[in-house]
Amino acid sequence: MKYSYFPGCAMKGAGKAYDFSIKYVTKKIGMELLEIDDWNCCGATAAHSTSADLALGLNARTLALAEAQYPDLEIAVPCAACYSALRSALFSARSSKEKLAKIQDLIEMPYEGKNEVISFLETFSRPDAMKAITENVVKPLGGLKVACYYGCLTSRPAKIAGPDDVENPMQMDDIVALTGAISVDWAFKTECCGGAHHVSYQKGAVPLVDRILRNAQANGAEAIATACPLCCLNLDMRQGELNKKNGTDYNIPIYYFTELLAMSMGATPKEVGVEKHFFPALSLMEKYLVKGGSAV
Amino acid sequence: MEISLNTPAATLAEIGTIVDKAHVELHKCYQCGKCTAGCPMADSMDITPREVIRHLQLGLLAEVLRCEAVWVCASCHTCSARCPNEVDVAHLMEVLRQEAKKRNITPVPDVDKFARIFISNIRSFGKSHEVVLCASYNVWSGHLFQDVMTFPHLVMNKLVFFKPHVVKDKTAVRRIMDKALKGADKA
């Protein structure tokens, strides 16, 4: 289990708990991550909204660096937006010889489109990883009811994201189940959180988070697990605001799915940044870690 | 609003180029509305995704290029995933956004401003810097105090960094960006 690693910009900032927990879990299960030297931003929605070539160029540079530095490794990507952008560039490179030549010319680097780009839902779903996770769970989160939230870009567009099921993906549910938590059945698994519109078009974006939380609550979820720093931030940051503004009583802490893994493997909340969330996420964890038979 | 369906040949050709770029065949859309039913942003749009396609089928390009819908679209791709006849509505929305921008039509200015700031951020650092990004957006958009209440939490929990992480080879990133944006709207 060895991958080249593209952390993405958010992992150094708002997505720190994702970064910490990925590092904790991968170390525990013996998965090696080698960070691509001098990677650049994927450009996110801004780049592909502006110009297809801009998104292509920015991502192809990173892919070419990975190919040169770690020719035999797949590239593992935690953020759903980076994952989608990098995979789109990879698919373009593989679509035709002409397209590949155009990309090489654009980035002025050798690049052949060799290395696969995968998400952490994929790395942790592989049989050897699942086995290693199971062996390392020492503080099971027995009975914690979790709504697994995939958002858009880990499942759509289907030909780029390659989900196991475009409307009802199960990878995260299966991973989270290894911690002893119970994944609830709910309808908003792959609904959009609003993404970058939470900055640039708030009045339209905030109701999306409201609907997601409402559906999670209606289906008995005590927590939501996410696999994207922006999804996590949006659900997390808006929850308290919505309660204050609309008088809702949402009480659904938002975690990265890797935080749940790390906690069940014996990490202290501080080690993986559980206390960093906007909506208080620490006490629910403590409650379940005690319930599971072991105090924090 | 009075509309004329007497579309000039030049406009029809323009529509053809745009839909080709998006790999969309307009005649494939039979207006079932599934795209709009699943669209999380449809509530906030002036015309729905289905209507965007209908306008193009009727040759009404100018109306589509100045509508808010293509900017309100959050690029979640639900429309494309659920279309029963393989019309890639999300890709079409994206190409329309690029085409509108090329003609300097930005009916939802904040969305465009945010994209421009995001891109200039990458040009400066090669990576995205959240503090610079949100601060410049608030200043430029005039929403000075948007989300400032979240800032103490971000600082206290060390979720923001003030010294930007910068790529080593900034020149390479800039050269790629310049080449890519040649012809397109420079950010």
Q: Min CA distance, A137 vs chain B (Å)? A: 28
The Cα angle at residue B44 between residues B42 and B47, in degrees rounded to 5: 60
Nearest chain B residue (CA) to A240: B150
The Cα angle at residue A230 between residues B88 and B129, in degrees rounded to 5: 110
For residue range A83-93, list pLDDT tens digits in order.
Answer: 999 999 999 99
For residue range B138-176, list pLDDT tens digits in order.
Answer: 888 888 888 887 878 888 788 777 777 899 999 999 999
Give percent of chain B above pLDDT 90. 72
Give percent of chain A above pLDDT 90. 92
pLDDT at residue A69 is higher than 70: yes
Predicted pLDDT of residue A295? 45
Predicted pLDDT of residue B186? 43
Residues of B (28-57) whose Cβ lies below 8 Å from A? 40-41, 43-44
For residue range A183-216, list pLDDT tens digits in order.
Answer: 999 999 999 999 999 999 999 999 999 999 999 9
Give residues with Cβ within 8 angstroms of A114, minimum separation 6.
A67, A71
pLDDT at residue A296 is higher than 50: no
Q: H/E element holding B117?
A: helix B109-125
Mean pLDDT confidence for B92-119: 95
Tokens 């708002």 correspond to A14
Predicted pLDDT of residue B64? 97
Tokens 């306008």 correspond to B55
pLDDT at residue B60 is higher than 50: yes
Mean pLDDT confidence for B52-79: 97
Of residues A294 and B98, which shows the higher confidence score? B98
Task: For residue B38, give Cα distances in angstroms to A69, A204, B81.
Answer: 42, 15, 10
- Mean pLDDT (chain A, rounded): 95
For residue range A147-182, list pLDDT tens digits in order.
Answer: 999 999 999 999 999 888 999 999 999 999 999 999
For residue range A237-268, list pLDDT tens digits in order.
Answer: 999 999 999 999 999 999 999 999 999 999 99
Which of B130, B153, B181 is closest, CB to CB, to A54? Answer: B181
Residues of A (175-194) whose Cβ lies below 8 Å from B? 190-192, 194
pLDDT at residue B4 is higher than 70: no
Sheet holding A75-77, edge to edge: A32-35, A2-5, A75-77, A117-119
Cross-chain Cβ contact A166/B81 below 8 Å: yes
Test the B interface: residue of A51, A154, A167, A234 with most B CBs within 10 Å: A51
Contacts of A49 in chain B (CB under 8 A): 75, 94, 97-98, 115
Cross-chain Cβ contact A156/B141 below 8 Å: no
Of residues A45 and A221, which shows the higher confidence score? A221
Backbone angles phi, psi at A81, to 5 degrees: -70, -45
Q: How confident is the model at residue A293 (pLDDT cuts 50, 70, 90)?
A: low
Residues of A (35-94) whose Cβ lies below 8 Å from B? 38-41, 43-54, 56-58, 61
Backbone angles phi, psi at A75, to 5 degrees: -100, 120
Residues of A (135-164) whose Cβ lies below 8 Å from B? 152, 156-158
Give percent of chain A above pLDDT 70. 98
> Which of A219-223, B99-103, B130-134 has the least mean pLDDT?
B130-134
- Helices A202-218 and A229-246: crossing angle in degrees, nearest 10, is 90
Q: How confident is the model at residue A108 (pLDDT cuts 50, 70, 90)?
A: very high
Nearest chain B residue (CA) to A15: B159
Contacts of A204 in chain B (CB under 8 A): 41, 43-44, 72
Q: What is the count of residue pairs from A and B with beta carbons less than 8 Å apart?
A: 177
Question: Structure tokens of B187?
Answer: 């950010």
Which of B76, B179, B187 is closest, CB to CB, to A57? Answer: B179
pLDDT at residue A224 is higher than 50: yes
Mean pLDDT confidence for B177-186: 77
Instruction: Name the nearest CA neighbour of A63 among A75, A80, A47.
Output: A75
Backbone angles phi, psi at B33, to 5 degrees: 90, 10
Predicted pLDDT of residue B185? 46
Predicted pLDDT of residue A66? 98
Alpha-carbon Rg for chain A in angstroms: 19
Q: How confident is the model at residue B2 (pLDDT cuts 50, 70, 90)?
A: low
Predicted pLDDT of residue A292? 59
Q: How confident is the model at residue B187 (pLDDT cuts 50, 70, 90)?
A: very low
Q: Min CA distance, A134 vs chain B (Å)? A: 31
